[in-house]
Structure 1
Amino acid sequence: MESARIDLLDRKIIQSLQLDPRAPFSRLATVLGSSEQTIARRYRRLVEARVVRVVAELNSQRISQRDWVVRLRCVPGSATMVATKVARDPDASWVQVVSGGTEIFAAVRSRHDNHGTPLLLEQLSLNRQVVDMRAYCLLREFTSGVSSPLGSNYLSSSEIDRLSPHHRAPRATDRTAAPLQDSDWPLIRALGKDGRMTFRQLADEIHWHESTVRRRVEELVLEGVLFFNVDLDNPVVGLNAPALLWMSVAPAKLAEVGDALAGHQQIPFAAATTGSTNMVAKVMCSDETALYQYLTQELASLDGILHVEVTLIMQTVKLYSMTTQMRSRVGTEHSRPHASTMSTSELLSVDTP
């Protein structure tokens, strides 16, 4: 399939959304020196091509829920098929084929049960195409997973200053429990589908008053429960060497290493975990040379890392919510397959070739 093509204005729009995912088109137009109609049209074009999408995410640590990451080793030739089926589960995100196409990485959220094992993990362990599974509970996130870097800076310092939010929500590492009500779920699901829905659109969607929607969204954001992210098809913007780092870190150095990783531009995600290694991070580089330089310079300078396993990400099947394997060319019409309504066990039952 032909790759999507984006120009300088597209890249500026993407970087602007990474700074403020819900910035009104009118504000983007003023800062970027374009018309509101042009900005809105360009964004819709990027969304339709599956290059970018703004989505709302829950900070599980703020609501005392557990998140997991899993490594699945599959029967040869089945990894992409299994990954596609895993991606259909609404509690799975960041589903990626790694290690030369023999392994799957996925994040799994425990939405409704604070202490039990997510159903998806139980089903994966029983699947005949999965020959090995290692599950790691995220103990502390040092970065929130917000938006991968573009690799280059397309905005001026003045534009960045005008678009950067003046107030930041609490960090993902804040462990103080925050309230989340059952009545919030329709709002969260709507924003999970489209994080740029206006308050009026949200009110029409979930049948609340617009003022109630505005107030509740602002409360959840200020409490650090809800934040907005940008799903981005990284190869389109030149990030062609993404990788996962599985690290063993001296326990006394975990916090120090995690905080240092959070400050690296190449690292959109880093967390301390349970399991055979105790730190996982995602690194985004333009190519293998840049990846090598990161490993031998920035990462090598950190004190306390005892061992690092590097696994290249070969294919991304699903980001936080946006699937990528069916992305069309920019400007072409396409239909996105609907999420499956099958049970988890049905999704993961793969016919034997």
Structure 2
Amino acid sequence: MLDDLDRGLIHALHLDGRAPFSRIAAVLGVSAQTIARRYARLRTEASLRVVGLTDPHQAGRTQWLVRLTATARSAQDLAHSLVRRPDTSWVKLASGGTEIVAVIHAPTDASGANSLLLHDIPRTGGITAVSAHCLLHMYLGGPTNWRRSADALDAEQSRVLREAAGSGSGVVPRQPGPADAELLAALEKDGRVGQGELARVTGWSPATVARRLAELRAGGALFFDVEVDAGLFGVNTRALLWMSVRPADLDRVATALSGHDELAFVAATTGPTNLVAQALCRDPADLHRYLTHRLGSLTAVHTLETSPVLRNLKAASPSLTGLPPRVDRRERGRG
């Protein structure tokens, strides 16, 4: 399990994924060398990873939550074919290993061959059902942290880190464009990569790199996600919750759910179930208590389907860099 310093470091990275170790160390009252050592250990032992991600709307992308049901023999191959695609994230095996759930990022204008969400899926008779749900609005997830992985710092410590992260006064926000492709690709692989390396891969000066980063972050076009093994926070049971809510109640219910500590992701979608969430609980009994008490108290939820998540094969970043060939248990607390 994590100690207080580990939790403080992870919380600090949630607030500012590129914060210098010296700043985090000053907030936590230890040396920069200690923070650097802890960060290296957590990368090895807890699958800790900071990734830079673009806001899909500002980047001209639509996110689709795709569910594939397959025979047990075909499910593993189908899942790993989705893992290998550069336009996917949050690939999961669920429901006893016969269901694959993934987020596919597609151009919003739906132009070109990539508009076919399920291209490059192996041709097999093992697929028994397919559904695709467009993510209409995210209430919890993305740049919003799962509370239980970001509850170690007090208000003053959080204020210092937030102010430093947003200290680019006078910076004009900008949306990502074609010229930013190399910069964003490098941050997708490692959100903490140094500015010297970013200057090398982009061909820009370090000053230009710093300015572009500040401009993209200022408008929310670029944010930094923290992936970490949720099992180290006591999570042993994960489940996707597919809910049907009357449209007039949807915003109210989703807003209420986004305040539940047990949930790491809440989004409105298209489809017969119009609200999806991910629950991270200690064990099956803890999940049962959540479903029957907290979620059960919301009478506007008319139907509920619970899909236990067995494995996370791919996390938030579409990049394959750093992912082991088979199973990756990383959870940032969303998706």
TM-score (norm 1): 0.80
Residue correspondence of structure 1 range 124-143 to structure 2 within 5 A: 124=121, 126-143=123-140
Report the Cα distance in structure 1 between the residues aligned to 2:126 and 2:37, rounded to whole angstroms.
Answer: 43
Give, in angstroms, the shift of residue 243 of structure 1: 0.9
Do the aligned residues in 2 keep the contact of 1:51 with 1:236 (CA within 8 Å)?
A: no
Amino acid at match of 1:179: Q
2:118 counterpart SS class = helix
- Aligned equivalents of 2:206 and 2:53: distance in 1? 21
Residue 305 of structure 1 is matched in structure 2 by 301
CA contact (8 A) 1:15 1:150 kept: no
User: What SS does structure 2 have at the residue aligned with 1:9?
Assistant: helix
Within the candidate set 47, 56, 65, 1:51 is matched to 47
Corresponding residue for residue 66 of structure 2: 70
Query: Where does the alignment leave 5 or more consecutive residues of structure 2 unmatched?
Result: 167-173, 330-335
* Pair 128,118 (structure 1): closer, same or farther in 2 beyond 3 Å: farther
Percent same amino acid among aligned pairs?
39
1:20 is displaced (CA, Å) by: 2.2
Matched, 1:212 2:225: no
Offset at 1:219?
1.5
Counterparts of 1:127 and 1:235, CA distance in 2:
34
| Deviation digits for residues 289-339 of structure 1 (CA, Å, limit 9, x no counterpart) | 2222222222223342111111111111111136364669xxxxxxxxxxx
Note the aligned Cα RMSD (angstroms). Answer: 2.6
Pick the structure with more strand per residue: 2
Mind listing any 5+ residue stretches in structure 1 that lack a counterpart? 169-177, 329-353
Q: What's the counterpart of residue 270 of structure 1? A: 266
Structure 2 equivalent of residue 122 of structure 1? 119
Look up the SS of the partner of 2:281 in the other structure: coil
Which residue of the partner structure matches residue 323 of structure 2?
323
CA contact (8 A) 1:82 1:129 kept: no
The 5 A counterparts of 1:1-353 are 6-49=2-45, 51-110=47-106, 112=107, 114-116=109-111, 118-124=115-121, 126-146=123-143, 147-150=145-148, 153-165=151-163, 179-321=175-317, 323=323, 325=326
Indicate conservation of the 8 Å contact 2:21/2:36, yes or no: yes
Q: CA deviation at 1:93?
A: 0.7
Q: Structure 2: how far apart are the matches of 1:303 and 1:10?
A: 39
Residue 226 of structure 1 deviates from its aligned partner by 1.2
Residues 196 and 152 of structure 1, relative CA distance in 2, 3 Å threshold: closer
Distance 2:149 2:32 in 1: 26
Moved more, 150-159 or 306-315: 150-159
Once the two structures are TM-superposed, the CA of residue 11 in structure 1 deviates from its matched residue by: 2.7
Q: Secondary structure of the equivalent of 1:60? A: coil
> How many residue pairs end up in the alignment?
315
Counterpart code for 1:317? L
Query: In structure 2, do the counterparts of structure 1 residues 300 and 13 end up closer, same or farther at CA, with 3 Å as the change threshold?
Result: same
Question: Is 192-201 or 146-155 further displaced after alignment?
Answer: 146-155
Question: Matched residues in 2 for 1:127 and 1:187: separation?
Answer: 38
SS at match of 1:313: strand
